[in-house]
Amino acid sequence: MEKRQSVLQLVNQHNISPAYNHVRTSSYIFKLTQLISTIVCTGSYSKGVNGVTSSTTEQMLPYFVCSAYMIITPVILISYVLGHRMPEILIRIFNTLAGILFLVAGTVALQNWRKFKHDMKGKEEDADKQTAAVFLLTTGALCLVNSMLYLTDVAVSVHFTLSSP
């Protein structure tokens, strides 16, 4: 009868060391900047969304995009820190999708800001409504900046892949 070894016996017999993949500093800095920008974007939108009177989809889209990437980006960062990077193609897919989604979320936030400012013309100025307008503008700008960060990350990744021997 053939005796099979358990997984623990195999692990104990061989000195298994994790395969540490070197991470470029630029990739790590991009991810950290993207995470911080996403957190600030979410916070500013939560203050500015009070002034949005448009559809529920327009109100929630920036939240969904920011929330999704507040989960995905730390997972990629943790994989960098642990040395077990996700496959580069998967990171590029996430980054490309993030660039597109943040572009759409930024456009929606800026449209909400523009509509809000248009609706406020001729009405008495309220400090809370002015603050909401500033936060909507900030959210739109930060979403667009985040979109550029993610798309630049994709470009840098492709550049390094094509330039490596």
Residue ranges per structural domain of the chain: 19-163
* Inter-residue contact 143 to 105 (CB < 8 Å): yes
The mean pLDDT of the chain is: 79
d(CA 117, CA 139): 15
Arithmetic mean of pLDDT, 120-125? 73
pLDDT in tens, 48-102: 776 666 667 777 888 888 889 999 989 888 887 877 777 888 888 999 999 999 9
Choose among 49, 75, 76: nearest CA to 64.
49
Q: Is the pLDDT of residue 145 over 90?
A: yes
pLDDT cut 90: percent of the chain above it: 19
24-47 per-position pLDDT tens digit:
777 788 888 889 988 888 888 877
pLDDT of residue 3: 57
Tokens of 162: 């094509």
Percentage with pLDDT > 70 across the chain: 79
